[in-house]
Structure 1
Amino acid sequence: MTVGDDGTPRSGAQVLRDLVAQGVLADQVGVDFLGIGEHHRPDFAVSAPDVVLAGLATATERIRLGSAVTVLSSDDPIRVFQRFATIDALSGGRGEVILGRGSFTESFPLFGLDLGDYERLFSEKLDLFSRLLTEQPVTWEGTVRPPLRDQEVFPRTEAGLTAWIAVGGSPQSVVRAASYRLPLMLAIIGGPAQRFAPFADLYRRALTELGAEPLPVGVHSPGHVAETDEQAREELYPHFKANRDRIGAERGWGPMSLEEFHSEITHGALYVGSPETVARKIAATVRTLGLDRFDLKYASGPMPHSQLMRSVELYGTRVIPLVRELLAEG
């Protein structure tokens, strides 16, 4: 959920309309991918990202559209495949799905699921989803849903559905992504990016040992872009802190201090500042981890729509071209 420029909370309906406007702008200014998260709580407006993505599919021309992430554990793999195959069709082949367990658990009681089955739900549903990606008749049996026997699933895509696995940083999850031969998205939301280098290396080694071809590795981290470093920090801090403190109160974390905020920008996972500052930090992360993709989580807390729009504009027109220049220099 966001606020207006005057600090007044915007309705959930308006936030959804604003998100579509942000996606259209991202398409126009050269951003390559827009990912929309899934939440089932009052401080987030989007509970059905695939519906928003379907709307964006017909309102954009070139940007790839996907989830960030789809909470597969509390959804049905067949319905997830069908919805994102539909987005792929509406967008002319630009649909993606990033599968994960998510960092929130509200969807489990909402859909009548037991958190005690957390691991089994994700493991079995991922196994089924990986088979659906072949777009051939599926035979599958598990414990979390009825079995399938030579079941065909529609719609089929024109060139296959792109699917990633999002990982928070456990070796087992990294190896699992490799075992299913799916691209890896590392969610780095705190601490220096270089501490995730062992996970990227483990993923690549696992693929090699499995005899699989190399696959993309990406990173998803929060940030904000403004004209200057000072402006970016001043704009983001109150909203980032509000979001972090609300979640922290639920999970037993202490309130975020200004010093911690600045430390995460300087040494950690916050990509905040002028276009030049953010571009240099992204390029350094790409080099350190050997990345194929970097996704900036540009919305954190109740930041106003106008500031989010400007951040998207600067990211597309100035940050992305500069990152490419820096990487081309070697």
Structure 2
Amino acid sequence: MSIQFGLDTFGDVTRGQDGELLSQAQTIRNVVAQAELAESIGIDFFGVGEHHRPDFAISAPEMVLAAIAARTDSIRLGTAVTVLSSDDPVRVYERFATLDAVSSGRAEIVVGRGSFVESFALFGHDLRDYEALFEEKLELLVELVKEQPVTWSGTMRPALDGADVFPKTENGMPIWVGVGGSPESVMRVARHGVGLMLAIIGGSAGRFAPFVELYHRSVASYGTQAHPIVVHSPGHVGETDDDAWDEAYPGFEAMHETIGRERGWPAYSRARFQNEVGPAGAVYSGSPERVAAKIADTIRTLGVGRFDLKYANGTLSHEAMMRSIELYGTEVIPRVKRLLADD
């Protein structure tokens, strides 16, 4: 199986050379430049997340992806993720089908329930409907991407009776669902016959092997279509281990401290960071050799079809991210391919 390699970002608001936080507008422009670099060095996929809070600049990911589409030719474009629970499936389909048109067929829909909940109140949804909203809206979106008139009814939005939506894509459009690791979520993905993206942001990749097995068993049981599994994990590449870790740690600390104050997490520490970049952790950071070995081990362990490195983490500077992207594309990926070829 041919393995693909991607990059994901949430558009984290970063610090400039003077140490001050950049504007959200400049952060978005930097994301477009990062995507241009990614294509120039052969990255297969570029994903941007949707958030509605001050530390992440991207609230309308399809707009950013359209800007990237205008400056690139081949890299596939998607989200990581679109918060489907607080959006409307018809509008999601229409926006992505439009993106697919302007990018000449490079759009992928990657949806999730959302690990942040600001969008629910913002768009008038009750958090008590968290599960029901996602289940119903995913069901409808799966029908819409078949690009045939849809008759559907549920409890979370008005029914559709023979509704046709436009524009149509030229060659169809894939859907992936981002999953944090619950069996129910994995089985839902299999039942709908769409792709599974495993968000591995804590612990070793090996602990997700049962979910991969469950996905394949469930696909066989439901008689739906199996798709290559995608893994999404954070990381940062430097010239050496120490370079990467010294660059990355302040951004990880800032991100965890900001979110931790809201969620009651304990204080972040360098010791915790070093544990996460080790074999038992979910952070892929270090020299190209170290990161390549860890990615190759994950691909072997889980049998995934694509690995997405979440390269933006906290306030890490644009310049450091650009160098990390360059090392990922020119040194890490070729090493991973050689390691897997040796197998």
Shared fold (TM-score greater than 0.5)?
yes
Alpha carbons of 1:194 and 1:268: their partners in 2 closer, same or farther (altered >3 Å)?
A: same
Matched letter for residue 281 of structure 2: G
1:318 and 2:331 correspond: yes
Match of 2:47 among 6, 30, 35: 35
2:205 to 193, 212, 224: 193
Q: Distance in 2 between matches of 1:214 and 1:105?
A: 30
Aligned length: 330
Q: Secondary structure at the match of 1:146?
A: coil
Which residue of 9, 16, 41 maps to 2:28? 16
Structure 1 stretches (4+) deviating beyond 4 angstroms? none
Give the SS at the match of 1:18.
Answer: helix
Q: Give SS of 1:165's match.
A: strand
Partner residue of 2:309 out of 287, 291, 296:
296
Q: Identity rate of aligned residues, in percent?
A: 59
Q: Which of 68, 79, 83 is matched with 2:95 structurally? A: 83
- Mapping 1:174-213, distance limit 5 Å: 174-213=186-225
1:191 alignment partner AA: G
Supply the distance in 2 between the matched residues of 1:213 and 1:306 (Cα, whole angstroms).
41
2: CA distance, partners of 1:208 / 1:36 = 31
Report the Cα offset of residue 214 of structure 1. Answer: 2.9
3-state SS of 1:104 partner? coil
Q: Name 1:245's counterpart in structure 2.
A: 257
Alignment correspondent of 1:281: 294
Cα offsets for 1:13-43 (capped at 9, x unmatched): 1001000000000010111110000010011
Gaps of 5+ in 1: none
For 2:236, what is the secondary structure of its paired residue? strand
**1:270 equivalenced with 2:280 (yes/no):** no
User: CA offsets per residue over residues 88-124 of structure 1, 9 Å max, x none?
Assistant: 1111111111110111000001111110110111010
Q: Which runs of 5+ in 2 are unaligned?
A: 1-12
Question: Quick check: 1:139 aligned with 2:151?
Answer: yes
Cα displacement (A) at 1:215: 1.5
Structure 2 distance, partners of 1:10, 1:188, is 28
Among candidates 133, 137, 140, match of residue 125 of structure 1: 137
TM-score if structure 1 supplies the norm length? 0.99
Q: TM-score, normalised by structure 2?
A: 0.95
Q: Out of 150, 167, 175, which is 1:163 matched to?
A: 175
- Alignment partner for residue 236 of structure 2, among 224, 229, 233? 224
Choose between structure 1 and 2 for higher RCO, CA contacts under 8 A separated by at least 6 residues.
Answer: 2
One-letter amino acid of the counterpart of residue 180, structure 1: H
| CA positional deviation for 1:212 | 3.0
Cα root mean square deviation, aligned: 0.8
